[in-house]
Amino acid sequence: MKKTKLAVIFGGKSSEYLISLHSAASAIKNIPNDKFDVTLIGITSEGKWLYFPGSIEEIDNNTWFENPNCCEMILSPDAVLKGFIKLNNDKTFDKVEIDCVFPILHGKHGEDGTIQGLCELYGIPFVGCDMLSSALCMDKEFTHIVCNSKNIKMAPYMAVVNEKNLDLKDTYKKVLENLSLPIFIKPANAGSSYGISKIRNYDEFEKGMNFAFDHDRKVILESTIEGFEIGCAVLGNGEILIGEVDEIEMYKDFFDYNEKYHSTTSKIHCPARISDELKLEAKETAKCIYKALECSGMARIDMFLTPTNEIILNEVNTIPGLTSVSRYPSMVKVGLNMGYTELIIELVNLAMNR
Ligand SMILES: Nc1ncnc2c1ncn2[C@@H]1O[C@H](COP(=O)(O)OP(=O)(O)O)[C@@H](O)[C@H]1O
Ligand SMILES: [Mg+2]
């Protein structure tokens, strides 16, 4: 059987660059060589695209771009070529045809529809949600707008743009009229809890707003949802598969960067310690959210379960963490009995049959 020519893109000009390296390293380890011809393309944190012929370790320890055999790689805008132009170090160039792109990029310039748009323009199938869906899920204001219009419950919210004449004192008044303390302040477009704070008074509000504005021109304010966080791994295009529901057990204010990647006080339970009825409801809700935001390929749907057993959407991650201990592959393994290698085969299959 002919092997599928798969381009894995990792890194990226995003605050989640390093996380992408770990996700990519795990995914690459699990790509079966008998089915795929893999081309590795790294994007440096400055945004330079490089062909990378080295080892997984160099990706994992962030030395990959120092490999002397790296060379420039350009995604060709030629929809007939469908692939990349490799600018070799000896000044020659090669055309590298690709059947499918697997962007393993988190956050801005990767998970937000930009790479997806390029692939759509150049006619190359790619793993994960399309351009529109990726952009909607990345921008927390637009996730709210679409979900509100489709009757999907989310926290009460406000969006604030960092304009020249923004008066924070005045904004705080409006915030208190519309939302209830404590309030979450989040950059509209970020991830891994970067720029997020939970505030209880004006001083914290001012600090939190400036902190969030360091990450994005637009921030989202949300009333705090009581309860705990659950997640669902969703997989598919028209026909949808749902993995096990997981749960984040936490003793801190929120699931911050440190907890996400070092789990000091938090713990992920997969399956979640909730009733079968609630699990079923969470899965059904996740499916509705996936459809409402026109997701395809994959997404991890993060929700809250309140003390009165209400399920409320927090956010949708269109390129969820993909390390071997990440939530998405674990939920797929536990719920669908699908290992990481099978998952990759399925994701590429979904991309090529969209
Ligand atoms: N409205 C909210 N109510 C309660 N907790 C929240 C709320 N919004 C965010 N959080 C907490 O902050 C964490 C990060 O927020 P999230 O919207 O998921 O941002 P990111 O895209 O950075 O992961 C969540 O996992 C949760 O612990
Ligand atoms: Mg999150």
Residue 92 has pLDDT above 80, yes or no: yes
Residue 340: closest CA among 353, 328, 351: 328
Residues 111 and 33 in one domain: yes
Arithmetic mean of pLDDT, 114-143:
97
- The residue contributing the CA closest to ligand 1 atom 14 is 193
Alpha carbon of 249 to ligand 2 centroid (Å):
14
User: Is 102 a residue whose pLDDT tops 80?
Assistant: yes
Average pLDDT over residues 123-143: 97
Q: Are residues 144 and 279 in the same domain?
A: yes
User: What is the length of the chain?
Assistant: 354
Q: Residues 299-306: what's their mean pLDDT?
A: 98
CATH number, domain of 106, equals 3.40.50.20
Ligand 2 centroid distance, CA of 193 (Å): 6
Which residue of 193, 225, 250 sits with most ligand 1 atoms within 8 Å of its CB, as the best mutation to test the pocket? 193
Residue 228 near ligand 1, beta carbon < 6 Å = no
Give the distance (Å) from ligand 1 centre to CA of residue 255.
Answer: 7
Dihedral pair phi/psi, residue 57, rounded to 5°:
-60, -40
Angle at 300 between CA 100 and CA 135, to 5 degrees: 65
15 lines ligand 1 (CB under 6 A): no
Q: Which atom of ligand 1 lies nearest, measured to the CA of 155?
A: 1
Helix (H, G, I), strand (E, B) or coil at 353: coil
Task: Note the pLDDT of residue 124.
Answer: 96
Contacts for 288 with CB less than 8 Å, ≥ 6 apart: 152
Residue nearest to atom 19 of ligand 1 (CA): 193
- Please state whether beta strands 100-104 and 4-11 pair in parallel, antiparallel, or not at all (unpaired): parallel
- Same-domain status, 273 and 324: yes
Asked if 147 and 257 sit in the same domain, the reply is yes
Residues sharing a CB contact under 8 Å with residue 1, sequence separation 6 or more, in sequence order: 35
Identify whether residues 144 and 195 lie together within a single domain.
no
**Mean pLDDT of the region 114-121:** 96
- Determine the structural domain holding residue 270 and report its residue range: 137-152+226-352
Give a yes or no: residue 131 inside a domain.
no
Model pLDDT, residue 250: 87
- pLDDT, tens digit (0-9, with 9 covering 90-100), for 37-53: 999 999 999 999 999 99
Q: 98 pLDDT band (50/70/90 cuts)?
A: very high
Both 110 and 15 in one domain: the answer is yes
Residue 224 CB–ligand 1 contact under 6 Å: yes
Residue whose structure tokens are 């909730």: 274
Q: What CATH number does residue 322 fall under?
A: 3.30.470.20
Provide the terminal-to-terminal Cα distance of the chain, rounded to the nearest Å. Answer: 21
Report how far ligand 2's centroid is from the alpha carbon of 196 (Å): 10
Looking at residue 161, what is its pLDDT? Answer: 98
The number of folded domains in the chain is 3
159-187: buried (b, 16+ CB within 10 Å) or exposed (e) per residue? ebeeeeeeeeeebbeebeeebeeebbbbb
Give the ligand at the shortest distance from the Cα of 300: 2
